Structure 1
Amino acid sequence: MLASPLFVDIRRGAVEDLSTLLHERYVSSTGRVLIAVGRTQGADIWRRISSSLPEATVFEVPDASLAAAGALQEELGKQGYDAVVAIGGGRTLDVAKYAATRAALPMVAVATNLAHDGICSPVASLEHPHGKGSYGVALPLAVVVDLDFVRAAPRHLVSAGVGDVVSNLSAIEDWLLAHRTQGEPVDGLAMAFARTAGEAVLRRPDSIEDDAFLVALAEALVLSGMAMSVAGTSRPCSGACHEIVHAVDQLFPGKSNHGELAGVGALFATSLRGDTALLGEMAQCLHRHGLATDPAGLGLTTDEFVRAVLHAPTTRPDRYTVLEERDLDEAGVHREVETFTTAVAAVL
């Protein structure tokens, strides 16, 4: 059986109907929900809709940490809530997904940006005293994306989602590689969802200035989450590209953002596989949306990027990708980075 959101609403003004959604979809007939909000847009949205949910309680999420998720879970135990409604960006949603899962309560995701596929994924990325970890969680029961608030978010928090979605196309190739060489099983439905998500934005000529593109991007992010749910793992959306993301996060924290890192990681992995056609299309797509296409665009030197690539396989030792297949030494990675940056420059 396939776990999926009960309801997905992507449009302008969607948040205004939140109380109706909770009632008509039998999430909460009383409106007794805990609203988890981020510090910026989430709080602003709550002020707009608070009169329609008089029985709700508000919890401000301070950061994307296990401690914050624990505090939210503790708050959930203080009275009988019907559900958790998370309003904000990926950090707020991840904290709420983790706490709601541990408290065995349904969770509604109200996304205020489209930075990555966490809006509907069965994974929460949370910080702890020794770094950052990925934790299995339940999917949101419903997903709401209000395009009015997405448009109000910083541009890079919208366009970054393009990088995360497009990286699916690289992750799929890594999964197929592991299937061919290691006998790792693949899931055709999960792969179809992930590929459809990546292809949905790869060649579109419009941009985040257009509602039609924002709807396509939001749907693609939801499909990516569904792909991971079907597979029971992040495999269809996470390969060498995300190993590089995790390596950069560990070695050079604060550099760029998840989606943009995933995009460059996918370009490098695609270059390693020698797929020049896909490399060109991906690079043009990222460039069209103002995203980085090389280490310099991420604020990394060549030497720093090489260090990240060498460190990347250790971030997911159970995962076989093109990085593990090539098993390059430092000199080899330097050569491949030069080949990659030269190839990308030639198509832009």
Structure 2
Amino acid sequence: MKLPVGITTLHLSRKSVYLLVLAVALTGGGGYSYVQQGQAVSGAVTVQATVDSAQVERIDSRRSIDYEPEVKYTYEYQGETYTSEQVFPGPTIRTYSDRSKAQSVVRSYEPGTTVQAYVRPSAPSNAFLIRERTPWPTRALAVGSVLLGLVVLAGLGEKRPGRHEPRPEREVRSPPSRTWVERNDERLRRLSKWTLLVCFVAFWLSMVGLAFGILSLSEGSAQTVEADLLGPVGIPLLAAAGFWVGMILSLCLYGLQSFSRYRRLRRRLSEPRPPSPFKHPSRLVTILGTDRNELSEYGQRVRITGWAFVIAAGMIAIIVRLLYRAV
């Protein structure tokens, strides 16, 4: 598919078109919610409201369990009586993965008490209780922007990168000396793969141990579990964190070994050689999204190397996010 954009044209595959639709949906939905929340927060006036009920609603899905604070309240504005269940401004609801956080919101609104609510004069029926933005619009905008950037890079790149066939090794002059990684190529490959496999299995075993540890401490209670780091919860948690880091290091080691193979394959390409995908993001993104069977040996090596570092970077981002939320 060809998509004209200004003075250039994006060449999009079917996968890129699906990704573009998702990116536009996330960016549009996130932007709309962000604007709506901003208008609600900046243009709201205060009113007195009476709390009718307050509870935590459990939301079960196939992937996770979330908790939504539900508060029903009644208020008057310019002589009219309204009822609302909106806690935060904007069209989206805010949920929590931790029940205690949802309970901390509900705890401030005892039934029968009088609290302060906020009303937009242009939409008096849509009052809310807490004058702050929810994180969903910003996250949707961020994810949508990243996906949109990937689509643009893939569309601007060469139509068929990674198809260049290397020449036979006998036709290429070998370098006078080999690096340590090249000398230990096969050993590093086996070490990284076995370490990754062991850490992967051990990580999930640690998660199973963590689940049993939480169950043994909570004994069916819905209250928050507090545990010692050297107890039945802390030890599996520390082990899981260690094996997660081990998987990251294994991926980085495998990526380093694979990048060394990529350099050797690149030396075997005929002149003029194509630009390096690792210096031209548009080429790299296109190769990462291309089916393995459509690539040459050189292109497959670029794809494997790129995905190893992308997955490692994603796992590092998860650790950073968890540490940020913990702080």
Higher strand share: 2
**Which has the greater radius of gyration?**
2
Q: Give the TM-score band, short-chain normalised.
A: under 0.3
Query: Larger RCO: Structure 1 or Structure 2 (Cα < 8 Å, ≥ 6 residues apart)?
Result: 2
Q: TM-score, normalised by structure 2?
A: 0.21
- Structure number with the higher helix fraction is 1
TM-score (norm. length: structure 1): 0.20
